[in-house]
Structure 1
Amino acid sequence: MVEQSETLEARLRLVRRRSSVPRARALLRAKLGEWRACEAPADMAELVLSELVTNALRVAVPGDRMIGVRIRCRGRGASLRLEVSDAGGGRPVVRRPGELETGGRGLLLVEALAYRWGVDERSAGIGKTVWAEVMAPGASPEPASVEAEIAAATVRPGQSVRVWGAWCTVRSVRSERYASGGLAVVIGLDDGPGLRMDAAEPLMVRDGAPPTAAGGPVVAS
């Protein structure tokens, strides 16, 4: 039996072809069964993983570079972290396609289904890792021990964001539409004016109250 606090992990390398999408989903299903994980977030996780792998397949990369997949399971499936790495440059951006467009909604789906998502530079090698966390209803997220850059739309009250060279606590988050129809996010902070920014714009975030030193917030170097 998997203990509630235990975190399990699986990794897979995929070749750059369409058949890798169902292969990634099959790995996820197999591992959740092996780990005897609850099925609450499994369907959502399959959709999210499919979109992340599909996006990675579309990235132009040098040579025959493969795609890396990592699945982390915590609390018998209450929390799933899905990571997809590719060797391409640039950063994925949430698109707002028109009603007549047939594609371009992958990250919109990820944004809607995931508790949070973001993009990290790979610690070794070239490229990036796009990650998403899927939560079962009522589950608590895995605490973030390090900073991460995520889309503004996925920021939550209680987290800390780095703005103006310092860490500030997020007090409120609401969304509103631009006149052009795009989605904006308004973030209320405990110190200074609020932020109004595009929903897909990246912010550096960490969970919990901001780090402090004798007298105030830590200023970024």
Structure 2
Amino acid sequence: MPEIPLVPVHWRFPAYPASVRRARHAVTASLPRALRPQLGDDLCLLTSELVTNAIRHGTRREAGELIELVLWPADGHYWLAVSDPGTGRPVLTRPDADSESGRGLLLVDSLATAWTIRPRPTCGTSVIAGLSLRRGG
């Protein structure tokens, strides 16, 4: 009989800066306690970057839009998908040393074992990033 996977954890947050902290807390609290020392800091940082980008670039606060997060384990990784209703596509850039922004996806690229950008079936965009359970060992 095949192993039955865990049901993904799903959240929706309003497109407000305070949602970044709430999202970090929700994701970290959902990670199994035994994995927090191994994945907690990096997962928290990925959550911060992706949620911040979704709020800044993928939503219109005045329209009451939401961002969505899904967290699930699969194939030796913990996966985080952050989705927004925006039509734009995030772009990995290489800002110069004097730039005050533009490093979020560089950080995601550095931390994640794998990541991608996918259009959503109805509208919007999802950024999906995975952290390997076999890191550092």
TM-score norm. by structure 1 comes to 0.54
What is the identity percentage for the equivalent residue pairs of Structure 1 and Structure 2? 35
From the two aligned structures, give the one with the greater strand fraction: 1
Q: 2 CA distance for matches of 1:90 and 1:46?
A: 24
1-side partners of 2:46 and 2:135: how far apart?
19
Change (3 A) 1:37 1:8: farther
| Higher share in helix | 2
Could you tell me which runs of 5 or more consecutive residues in structure 2 were left unpaired when the two chains were aligned: none
**Paired residue for 1:118?**
116
Contact 2:58 2:88 in 1 (8 A): no
Measured in 2, the distance between the counterparts of 1:138 and 1:5 equals 24
Judge conservation of contact 2:59–2:66 (CA < 8 Å) in 1.
no
Q: Which residue of 1 aligns with 2:10?
A: 11
Deviations 1:5-27 (A, max 9, x none): 74342111010111111111101
CA distance in 1 between counterparts of 2:23 and 2:66 reads: 13
Q: Provide the residue aligned with 1:26 in structure 2.
A: 25
5+ residue gaps, structure 1: 140-221
For 2:42, the equivalent position in structure 1 comes to: 44
Question: Would the aligned equivalents of 1:5 and 1:74 in 2 still touch at CA under 8 Å?
Answer: no
Structure with higher Rg: it is 1
SS in 1 for 2:88: coil
Distance 2:59 2:27 in 1: 25
Aligned residues: 131
* TM-score normalized with structure 2 length: 0.85
| CA distance in 2 between partners of 1:58 and 1:138 (Å) | 31
Given that residues 12 and 69 in structure 1 are in contact (C-alpha distance below 8 angstroms), is that contact kept between their aligned partners in structure 2? Answer: yes
Of 123, 127, 137 in structure 1, the residue corresponding to residue 124 of structure 2 is 127
Report deviation, 1:138.
5.0
The answer to whether 1:94 aligns with 2:97 is: no
CA RMSD of aligned residues (A): 2.2
